[in-house]
Amino acid sequence: MPKPPAVHKQNPLTNDARVLRYLPQVTYIARRIHDRVPSQVPLADLVQAGVVGLLDALKRFDPGRHVQFSSYAAFRIRGAILDSLREMDWSPRDLRRKARLVEETAGRIEQETGRRASEHELATALGMSLATFRHLLAELKGLDLFPLDANPDPSSGNTLANEVPDTRRETAFQSCLRHEVQRQLASAISGLPRKEQQVMALYYYEELTMKDIGSVLGVGESRVSQIHAMALMDLRRRLARPLAAVTRPSEEKS
């Protein structure tokens, strides 16, 4: 009588070992996101959510898609952390109202003076002390965290982090759009003050945390956060101008 084929049981420690292997990646992504949310959000909660995302990545990963697991896991980890932040509802409407007020005030001062508004000018125009204004900047960090990761179909329960784009196939339109966005962004960044340019480069290009950037620049982590918030606010206004110039003619015709 032939022997039944041997059954190869999956090693129960395999996933545990991979979780331990990629835990530093979870911590790193959690720290990067934590840099952009209010300080009252516990880092440990973000790490915990990231681990859930990692476990989900281990469960859903399909080698047949020819995507590296580390890249796929990064999307799932980030998506899980962002989902957890949405559930926290840490960004109240009043905070977004204040963000719009700061941006509008900065734009008005720039129109009146022909140059970028300083922190002192913004604080004065808003009726705040410089310390209060800088505290507000720290609270405003992270308000732009979600739009780029928004759920394309809330009823589906999925986020954009569930999808890994195939960058090997880029259409002519996508290539043109990418180069134009890069050009506009580079131009906008070049108009920032030197210290803000340094913070943007160290955070987005060198991928340092706010704490590490503070060590490089010789300032505190909270000050780096304030500089980063000012830079983002200025970039939003600068990048909005080309869009307004393109949409205005069609609006006038209508």
The pLDDT-based confidence of 153 (bands split at 50, 70, 90) is very low
Q: Quick one: 106 exposed, middle or buried, by C-beta within 10 A (0-12, 13-18, 19+)?
A: buried
Does pTM top 0.75 for this prediction?
no
In a domain, 17, yes or no: yes
In a domain, 28, yes or no: yes
In a domain, 71, yes or no: yes
In a domain, 101, yes or no: no
Q: What is the pLDDT of residues 162-190, one digit of tens each?
A: 444 444 555 666 667 667 777 777 888 88
Q: The domain spanning residue 61 has which CATH number?
A: 1.10.1740.10
In a domain, 134, yes or no: no
Q: Which domain holds residue 42?
A: 11-90
| For range 8-21, the mean pLDDT | 62
In a domain, 205, yes or no: no
In whole angstroms, give the CA distance from residue 63 to residue 69. 8
Q: What is the pLDDT of residues 75-123, one digit of tens each?
A: 899 889 888 887 776 566 777 788 888 888 988 888 888 888 889 999 9
Domains: count for the chain: 1
In a domain, 34, yes or no: yes
Q: What is the pLDDT of residues 217-247, one digit of tens each?
A: 999 888 888 888 888 888 887 777 654 444 4
Tell me which amino acid residue 102 is.
Answer: V
Q: Across the chain, what does the average pLDDT equal?
A: 75
| Tokens at 67, concatenated | 């995507």
Residues 6+ apart with CB under 8 A from 101: 126
Q: Are 55 and 35 in contact (CB under 8 A)?
A: no
pLDDT at 241: 61
In a domain, 62, yes or no: yes
58: nearest Cα among 92, 10, 119, 120:
10
